[in-house]
Structure 1
Amino acid sequence: MSWESDLDRLVTERGSALVAYAYLLAGDMASAEDLVQDAFVRTYSRRRPEEVTWVEAYVRRTILNTYLDGYRARTRLAAVTPLLATSDVTDDPNTAAGDRADVARALTVLSPRERACVVLRFYDDLTLPEIGLRLGVSEGAVKRYLSDARHKLEPLLGPQPGLASEDVATITKGGSR
């Protein structure tokens, strides 16, 4: 199988999932599509062996690195005014879509590392050590990023039990917290 057919198959079968992943990081569809395209170019611009077993994981990692590199390259951020939706409970079928939009908007207030940690933890369902390995930081740094993210997200989304300090415990040498 040639690299062209591998790329075509990956785009056809997993392209929408990769764009959704990038959307969680970037916060808008155009940037998400650009991230995925850049990741494909970076992945396939180098000569690869005929069989690449973990190409989707490699592309996801490239998306994450491209997102973080792009953020670092920008000299400043435009001021972002988060938009809040009311928390009224309704039987409207669009409620779930509104909740997803609120989360996507709330993610924009996080720093790139905080946002990456939240996405890797709750979208990719990675453990703290796995997140640390992906980002090249210590497990303690991941805990700190998640804690900072919780403090920024709670005013926008309400209490976030998945980010609570008891879920991200710090254990000292003596074994106590």
Structure 2
Amino acid sequence: MDRAATALTPDEAGFRGWMAVRAPALRRKAYFLCGDWHTADDLTQEVLVSVYSRWSRLAGRGNVDAYANRVLVGKHVDVLRRPSRRETSVREPVDTVDAGAAAAFDAVDAQDAPLLRALAALPGPQRAVVVLRFVDDLAVDEIARVLDVPVGTVKSRLSRALDSLRTSLGPAVSVPAHEWEEPS
């Protein structure tokens, strides 16, 4: 195979550059959404495939990150809706903790485990706004665009999520106040 046949097009080079920078952050966000590194890897891969297939249109408009975040949240919701997540055999004892989530929690510092458990207990839409707000540092209006919901919906989901986190984590952990301004 000659060198000309393996040369990257500008679109491919642009995508690879974007992917090299953004893939680790996408994977981290996926993990905070699902609490399982294997599922996070699958979600990240699906997002990257989706971005790659639309790269020429997305790169020209400059909204690649917003699109990637929206696809990530949508793919996570799809995972939550899969019947395999709800099926349980009556012949096998039911554990109270998902084995995959437990393994992921073991890999995280003991200090982070309570937060990850509390995040995992949040409903998907609330978890999504918390992750986009505090992991990705998006402003409320940006989250509304990513999720395609009104700003008021983002604020109410965030408020409920933070209240739940405060209750779950207790006074030992500082949960941000209800503030809607830009992260500092």
What is the TM-score of this pair, normalised by structure 2?
0.66
Structure number with the bigger relative contact order (C-alpha 8 A, sep ≥ 6) is: 2
**Aligned mates of 2:142, 2:19 — CA distance in 1:** 26
Gaps of 5+ in 2: 1-8, 89-94, 99-107
The yes-or-no answer on 1:106 pairing with 2:118 is yes
Gaps of 5+ in 1: 83-95, 170-177
Q: Which structure dedicates a bigger proportion of its chain to helix?
A: 2
Identity in percent: 35
Structure 1 residue 80: deviation in Å? 5.6
Structure 1 residue 112: deviation in Å? 0.7
Structure 1 residue 60: deviation in Å? 2.9
- Encode CA deviations 1:83-133: one digit per residue, 9 max, x unaligned: xxxxxxxxxxxxx93222322222100111000111111112222232222
Q: Which residue of 2 aligns with 1:115?
A: 127
**What secondary structure is seen at the aligned counterpart in 2 of 1:97?**
coil
**Aligned mates of 1:45, 1:27 — CA distance in 2:** 27
The answer to whether the Cα contact below 8 Å between 2:15 and 2:55 also exists between their aligned partners in 1 is no
The answer to whether the Cα contact below 8 Å between 2:133 and 2:139 also exists between their aligned partners in 1 is yes
Structure 1 residue 135: deviation in Å? 1.4
Structure 1 residues 42, 80: CA separation in 2 closer, same or farther (over 3 Å shift)?
Answer: farther
Aligned residues: 153
The yes-or-no answer on 1:158 pairing with 2:167 is no
Structure 1 residue 144: deviation in Å? 2.0
Q: CA RMSD in A?
A: 3.1
Query: Which amino acid is 1:30 matched to?
Result: H
**Aligned mates of 1:39, 1:115 — CA distance in 2:** 18
The answer to whether the Cα contact below 8 Å between 1:35 and 1:67 also exists between their aligned partners in 2 is yes
Q: Which residue of 2 aligns with 1:44?
A: 52
Structure 1 residue 46: deviation in Å? 4.6
The yes-or-no answer on 1:136 pairing with 2:148 is yes
The yes-or-no answer on 1:22 pairing with 2:27 is no
